[in-house]
Homo-oligomer: A and B are copies of this chain.
Amino acid sequence: MATDAAAAETADPYEELTERLKRINAVQSAGGVLGWDQQVMMPEGGTPARSKQLSVLSSVSHDMLTDDRTEELLDACEDLDLDDEQQAVLREARREYERAAAVPRDLVEQISEASTEALGAWEQAKADDDFEQFAPHLERLVELKREYAEHIDPDRDPYAVLFDDYEPCLPLSQAEEILETLKETLVPMIDEIRESDVDVTTDAFEGHFDADEQEALSRDVLSTLGYDWEHGRLDTSSHPFTSGNQFDSRVTTRFDESDPLGALMATVHEFGHAFYSLGLPKEEFGTPLGESRDLSVHESQSRLWENHVGRSKPFWDLIMPTFLEHFPETDATVEEAYESANQVYEDNPIRIEADELTYHLHIVVRFEIERELISGDLDVEDVPETWNDKYEEYLGIRPDTDAEGCLQDIHWSHGNFGYFPTYSLGSVMAAQLYDAADDDIDDLTGKIRDGEFDDLHAWLRENVHRHGSRYETNELVRQATGEDFTADYFVDYVAEKYGDLYDLESSV
């Protein structure tokens, strides 16, 4: 302690703080590499060692963050004359410190170990369509996460506390309001689509689509979008994801040989995530200025590319020749491909295969269930039935199996409760950001059609990526678009697009 105090007097506390943050980040991002490996490369038998490695890295970074020295440095920095960026670093570091300091190291380690075990159990349960195999792991994670929330703030709704982990600078009430708007907008719209007798093409992509050929197509599409292969890779995993940082951001996808759209759209989606990560300032690697803003913003980047680029007509104009090079037997026009890529799947139970409309009802179901799980109003054993009931109520469908129901997604096996709303928030934000980019860029539609992405790249780099976590979420949106974060642009976007596709009366 004596030597530390001496150091605080002589050294630059801001410099020492940022070096400490970089070291913490290095341990966390090392864990990220191990996580990627676990899902993409690791032989199954490696789990016990990996579980131990991840839990120890997690507790090591927790110890480094919650060390007394961190607080001393944070306090010492308060007295310095810091510029705006440095203030932002301090704000983010203090928030992380205070949150972590509230949670005992043992609990962090227990959550990490339980998650690693749950991941294997979830994979097996999904393969066997047997929720019972996963239930005790989910039970355990719910308990641990409740305990976790209690340590952070025993007086608040534990779900709101957990939501902060993924979206610390957006109030849960704002998220709820946006989800409510989506529900009010989308339920009648989907009803109207269900009743519509407009003949939207749904079968432009029928037949067998070889996985290796799909992978080659994904690689071509990534190159067309501008993925930097010097700083990335494409692999396959059971659930598509992106992992990495500004130097090395890797995407995964998965191939269904009866459906080339799934992998293609997943690839474009993950490109958006990776392109964001690769646009973070390299010189700030490991500090909040070099880290992405929270999950909604990350998702806004993937959704912007997936929905506003990848599901647009000009994109299909651009990509159809490439598609036909890989699958020459496909007999579809660009218009048919576009319609198929945008059909509303009223009968689809799988979130990641959903269209832009039903998608958000998948989220609403998950959101309601996890809130009740965390509050204790719902028992784990009742999740499958409640899940199916809610799907029937909101989406008019009842999943045939739990594998297609409550077991479909990986997130709960990570203990990630509070994560799901960020998906919808991201889509909503994507619409607002894309609208602003479209205003700023001359003939963006034509540029997409020509495969000229430089202006869109530059707009995103300038308005979103380069800031890292400098601005809080609402402020970032305001700086980028000139307006507060709002669902208006999303509502307008879907009303116009789907009004046109399905000839809806309710559309603007």
A residues at B contact (CB < 8 Å): 22-23, 26-27, 29-31, 33-34, 37, 41-50, 52-57, 60, 228-233, 244-248, 250, 282, 285-286
- Contact between chains at B47 and A247 (CB < 8 Å): yes
Structural contact, B228 and A45, CB atoms closer than 8 A: yes
B231 touches A45 (CB 8 A): yes
Instruction: List chain B residues, Cβ under 8 A from A47.
Output: 247
A41 to B34, CA, bound (A): 12
Contact between chains at A43 and B230 (CB < 8 Å): yes
A30: chain B residues within 8 A (beta carbon): 30-31, 34, 53-54, 56-57
From the candidates B53, B246, B248, B282, name the one contacting A43 in the complex (CB within 8 A).
B248
Minimal beta-carbon separation of A282 from chain B (angstroms): 7
Give chain B residues whose Cβ lies under 8 Å from the Cβ of A228: 45
Of A34, A231, A247, which is in contact with the most chain B CB atoms at under 10 Å from its CB? A247
Report the Cα distance A51→B22, complex, angstroms.
12
Further pairs besides A27-B56, A33-B34, A43-B233: 18, Cβ < 8 Å: A22-B52, A23-B56, A26-B57, A27-B53, A27-B60, A29-B53, A30-B54, A37-B37, A41-B41, A43-B230, A43-B232, A45-B228, A46-B247, A46-B248, A47-B247, A49-B246, A49-B248, A60-B60
Q: Which residues of B contact A56 (CB under 8 A)?
A: 23, 26-27, 30
Q: Closest Cβ of chain B: how far from A31's Cβ, in Å? A: 8
Which residues does chain B contribute within 8 Å of A232, judged by CB atoms? 43
Of all A-B residue pairs in the complex, the 7 with the closest CB atoms, nearest first, are A46-B248, A26-B56, A45-B231, A49-B247, A45-B230, A30-B53, A26-B53
Contacts of A34 in B (CB 8 A): 30, 33-34
A-B contact pairs, 15 of them (CB 8 A): A26-B57, A27-B60, A29-B49, A29-B53, A30-B54, A30-B56, A33-B33, A33-B53, A37-B37, A42-B248, A43-B230, A46-B231, A49-B246, A50-B247, A60-B60
Residue of B nearest to A55 (CB): B26
Copies in the complex: 2
Q: Which residues on B sit within 8 Å (CB–CB) of A245?
A: 49
Report Cα–Cα, A47/B231, bound state, in Å.
9
A309 and B26 CA atoms in complex are apart in Å by 43
Q: Inside 8 A of A285's CB, which chain B residues have their CB?
A: 48-49, 52
Q: Which residues of B contact A282 (CB under 8 A)?
A: 48
Residue of B nearest to A23 (CB): B56
Distance in angstroms between the alpha carbons of A56 and B21 in the assembled complex: 12
Cα-based distance from A287 to B50 in the complex (angstroms) = 16
The interface residues of chain B lying within 8 Å CB-to-CB of A60 are: 23, 27, 60
A286 touches B45 (CB 8 A): no
A45–B233 touching, CB < 8 Å: no
List, in ascending order, chain B residues with CB within 8 A of A244's CB.
Answer: 46
- Minimum CB–CB distance from A246 to chain B (whole Å) comes to 8
CA distance A339 to B49 in the complex (A): 42
Distance between Cα atoms of A45 and B229 in the complex (Å)? 9
Nearest B residue (CB) for A286? B52
Tell me the complex Cα distance, A282–B250, Å: 32
Q: What is the bound-complex CA distance between A54 and B27, given in angstroms?
A: 9
> A468 to nearest B CB, angstroms?
15
User: Smallest distance from the beta carbon of A348 to chain B beta carbons, Å?
Assistant: 34
Residue from B22, B48, B246, B248 within 8 A of A247 (CB atoms): B48
- Chain B residues with CB below 8 A from A49, complex form: 29, 245-248, 285
User: Within the complex, what minimum Cβ distance (angstroms) separates A507 from chain B?
Assistant: 44
State how many angstroms separate the Cβ of A143 from the closest Cβ of chain B. Answer: 24
Q: Which residues of B contact A57 (CB under 8 A)?
A: 26-27, 30
Assembly CA distance A291 to B244 (angstroms): 31
Return chain B residues, CB-CB under 8 Å to A50.
247-248
Which chain B positions have C-beta within 8 A of A33?
Answer: 33-34, 37, 53
Write out the residue numbers on chain B whose beta carbons fall within 8 Å of the beta carbon of A26. 52-53, 55-57
Contact call A233/B52, Cβ cutoff below 8 A = no
Complex Cα spacing A41 to B33, Å: 11
| Closest beta carbon of chain B to A115's beta carbon, Å | 16
- Known contacts being A33-B53, A49-B29, is A44 close to B230, with CB within 8 Å? yes
Measured between alpha carbons, how far is A206 from B286 in the docked complex, in Å? 52
- Give Cα A232–Cα B43 distance, bound, in whole angstroms: 6
A233 proximity list for chain B (CB < 8 A) = 41, 43
Q: List the B side residues contacting A22 at CB < 8 Å.
A: 52
CA distance A45 to B231 in the complex (A): 5
Query: A223 vs B41: C-alpha distance in the bound complex, in angstroms?
Result: 19
Q: Which of B27, B45, B248 contacts A248 (CB 8 A)?
A: B45
Q: Which residues of B contact A286 (CB under 8 A)?
A: 52
Q: How far is the CA of A60 from the CA of B27 in the complex (A)?
A: 9
Roughly how many angstroms separate A285 CA and B48 CA in the complex, as a whole number? 9
What separation, in Å, do the CA atoms of A81 and B60 have in the docked complex?
A: 32
Bound-state CA distance A146–B46 (Å) is 37
